[in-house]
Amino acid sequence: MFELVKKMINSVKAEVDIIMSYMPDPISGAMGANEIVTLVIAIFILAALLPSAMTSIFAANTTAWSATTILMWGILPVIIIAVIVLKFYKGGE
């Protein structure tokens, strides 16, 4: 079960890394048209995939799981959103 969680978090991190790779250099501040289009497409892909991932998480059958595992599964969407926000906040480091 935790392998699935790790795979999901890694896939979200990979999406955020793709988006952050097209962010402009903070010193120059310039961004080309190609980078803007790619950034917009990456944001649309993330916006399309994230809700379905959240739906799958909430629809999981947790009847045979322990109470601790169910609690961790419940906060997984919050962790995913926090990873995305922190990735943007730290500037992609």
Per-residue tens of pLDDT for the chain, all 93 residues: 677 777 777 878 887 777 777 666 665 656 677 777 877 887 888 888 888 877 887 788 888 888 888 888 888 888 888 887 777 665 544
- Note the pTM of the prediction, 2 decimals: 0.43
C-alpha to C-alpha distance for 33 and 55, rounded to whole angstroms? 34
Distinct helix (H) and strand (E) counts, the chain: 3, 0
77 CB burial (10 A radius; 0-12, 13-18, 19+): middle
DSSP letter string, 50-79? HHHHHHHHHT---TTS-HHHHHHHHHHHHH
Tokens describing residue 23: 């962010």
